[in-house]
Structure 1
Amino acid sequence: MSSPDGGRPITATEAARRWDPWTPSVVAARLATCPAPWAVAGGWALDLFAGAISRAHDDIEITVPRADFPQIAHAFPEYEWDVVGDGKLWPYDRAGSRPELHQTWLRDPFTGAFHLDVFREPHDGDTWICRRDPTITLPYTELIRTTTNGIPYLIPEVVLLFKAKANRPKDDADFRRVAPLLPEHRLARLHAWLTQLHPDHPWSTQICAPVIGSSPTE
């Protein structure tokens, strides 16, 4: 499917200059009354799982069922939204309905700074559907965990599955830091998903074979 017309190119340099990411606690405070099942994603989610900040983060990402994005937007009436994809930006009202475009950046209309990246994810009711392989699904009650101070985050095996595609140095560092903290059933699930989406991925060989098929421990 071709990209919609009218997108404005944005370079990685410009994006880095304009990003001024909030922290998970700031996002959680703004979304405290939002009924949508949202969760922190990306590297921040792994930090929330591990209970410590591992590195500086260039942005902050959250995920929400695509149909529930208006509930997220409602919590930020003073901001505007841009849909992002293929190195371009579109106003949300122009490209928000395109199913192949899922990233949505919150923008301060006065400064032009970006503070939050929202992934509008495919779903079937209360069940999350992986946009990279629709056979991978989880109920949102299983997909999302919450810190002791009430910040929701994606379970680490889902975060690592998405990081596996790029496998940048920071992604590999995230895997090496978080994998030893995962119970056996989560490692087994990550291994199965990696085998399905990324055969022969180097992380698969680092997940011990005996954990495959183990019973949940949490």
Structure 2
Amino acid sequence: MPERLPPNGRVITAEELDHLWTPWTPRTVADRLAAIDAPWYVAAGWAIDLYLGEVSRPHADIEIAVPRAVFPEIVAALPEFDWDVAGAGRLWPYAEARDHPDLHQTWCRDPATGRYHLDVFREPHNGDIWLCRRDSSITLPYAQLIRHRDGIPYVIPEVALLFKARRTAAKDEHDFRRALPHLTPAGRDRLTGWLDRLHPQHEWLAAL
């Protein structure tokens, strides 16, 4: 997390989050963003479920990612909602923290109920090339980064797992074990190389 956060961030507890999140499904997100031309994709655990074609566990939220420069298109597609920036256990109104370079999570909030429905990652990019926010030397064209199932875009599993590798909570371990037998040879090679670079002692390397 960044050392110098914007001022006036509101601390939010895990218990409060459990109450405030009413996540949409990937299908709902895809329907609401159907008119968006910019590349976007379902990320994290839902991406693994879409890759494998089945839901294997509950999801407390839903995360999608977009190139940072085109986030206003997402806002325009959801005009009835407000947005907050999240990070380090705090929340800020989008207008107050949108330009902070180390804060990327942006939560879609229903102003009538206060419930959150969607977490949007505003990701670094260079035109049509995705840049990994944890190591900008890790790149992929969006055409290779995104797959689709039933019209729903999702990130390739090796990228989803790379971000999960940082913490390896129980749900992340679950997703890795499910996805591992189904990774393509290229996907295994990519994930192995990325883990070697970012987490060289990671236990997943032996399994790969």
Matched with 1:119 is 121
The offset of 1:141, in angstroms, is 0.8
Matched with 1:180 is 181
Take 1:176 and 1:89, find their aligned partners in 2: how far apart are those partners?
33
Residue type of the partner of 2:176?
A: F
The offset of 1:68, in angstroms, is 0.5
Matched with 1:150 is 151
The answer to whether the Cα contact below 8 Å between 1:63 and 1:119 also exists between their aligned partners in 2 is yes
Taking structure 2 as the reference length, the TM-score comes to: 0.98
- Report % sequence identity: 58
Which has the larger Rg?
Answer: 1
Q: How does 1:59-208 map to 2 (within 5 A)?
A: 59-147=61-149, 149-207=150-208
Q: 2:92 is paired with a residue of what secondary structure? A: strand
Extract structure 1 runs of 4+ deviating beyond 6 A: none
Q: Which of the two has greater strand per residue? A: 2
The offset of 1:6, in angstroms, is 1.6
Take 1:166 and 1:32, find their aligned partners in 2: how far apart are those partners?
32
Take 2:59 and 2:170, find their aligned partners in 1: how far apart are those partners?
14
Take 2:11 and 2:52, find their aligned partners in 1: how far apart are those partners?
36
Question: In the TM superposition, what whole-angstrom CA distance separates every residue of 1:68-92 from its partner, at most 9, and x where no partner exists?
Answer: 1000111110000000011111110
Question: In the TM superposition, what whole-angstrom CA distance separates every residue of 1:41-64 from its partner, at most 9, and x where no partner exists?
Answer: 010000000000011100000000
The offset of 1:183, in angstroms, is 1.3
The answer to whether the Cα contact below 8 Å between 1:36 and 1:72 also exists between their aligned partners in 2 is no
The answer to whether the Cα contact below 8 Å between 1:9 and 1:88 also exists between their aligned partners in 2 is yes
The offset of 1:199, in angstroms, is 0.6
Take 2:15 and 2:193, find their aligned partners in 1: how far apart are those partners?
36
Take 1:13 and 1:116, find their aligned partners in 2: how far apart are those partners?
18
Q: 1:68 is paired with a residue of what secondary structure? A: helix
The alignment of Structure 1 onto Structure 2 pairs a total of residues equal to 206
Residue type of the partner of 2:179?
A: V
Matched with 1:13 is 15
The offset of 1:17, in angstroms, is 1.0
CA RMSD of aligned residues (A): 0.7
Bigger relative contact order (CA 8 A; separation at least 6)? 2
Unaligned runs of 5+ in 2: none
